Amino acid sequence: MNGKVVVITGASSGIGAALAETLASRGSAAIAGLGLVARREDALKAVADRCGAHGIVALPIAADVTSREAVRRAAGAAIARFGRVDVWINNAGRGITRMPSELTDDDVDEMMRVNVKSVIYGMQEILPHFKKRGDGHIINISSMLGRVPFATFRSAYCAAKHFMNALTATFRAEIQQTHPNIQISIVSPGVVHTDFGLNAVHGGIDSRQIEGQSAEEVARVIAGVIDSRLPDVYTRPGARNQIVKYYETLGVDA
């Protein structure tokens, strides 16, 4: 990765924290610095300390990424500390446990605010820096539920991730017309053994009780996307076949 500066949102726990430590373990030749963004300052500092044990400078940036101004400040703080940002990873997100027929206005607003607006803010606020440099990489962490909405109880979360995927693809198409060295990637995990289920709006089952991947496994895939700059990656083998099978079952004629 040639000493990249990487900013990770949602870095205080789960996939974000695992990714920070995975990148830090690669050493200073690969990682020039990490910007760790989340609301919980104490948890961020703990992740930063663990990254520091690998000799990596990790800057904790306490910010609520559902605020555009907070995201702008976070980007500015990372650039001021490291002199540049090479990779910006929009990882913050939240699930919901509610059937679609029961969704309220507040449910939909919360899913869009956390899972879509935070991504828009991240992409738009780091873009001027990337355009100035003529290079950069945005990675948006999506979900298999952004491809196949088979978890009805996740309803508005599925919808938000579909929205985010479309937004990412159109953003990429626009920006690469004039700045082909700016890449925007989507990474889609399935179930991950984190607090995601427990932290869902209206509560939920522990994601660790469902067959899935560890946060560390997903982090390794994301780290690989930083290397490869591929535009669209799934974290689980066989994911594409699972998607095709889902639509075949619906009787969709390709």
DSSP string for residues in 154-199: GHHHHHHHHHHHHHHHHHHHHHHTT-TTEEEEEEE--SBSSSTTTT
Q: What is the DSSP letter of 82?
A: H
- 49 Cβ neighbours under 8 A, 6+ residues apart: none
Question: Which are the contacts of 158, defined by CB distance < 8 A and separation ≥ 6?
Answer: 143, 145, 146, 149, 151
Q: Which residues of 106-118 are buried (b: 16+ CB within 10 A; e: fewer)?
A: ebeebbbebbbbb
Report how far apart, in Å, the C-alpha atoms of 174 and of each of 79, 161, 170, 224 are: 24, 20, 6, 25
The two three-digit tokens of residue 89, written as one number: 């990873």
Quote the tokens at residue 140: 């948006």
Catalytic residue status for 121: no
Report the Cα 89 to chain-centroid distance in Å: 5
Q: For residue 186, what are the contacts with CB-CB under 8 A and spacing of at least 6? A: 139, 140, 142, 165, 168, 169, 231, 232, 233
Active-site pick, 157, 234, 246, 247: 157
Q: Which residues are catalytic?
A: 157
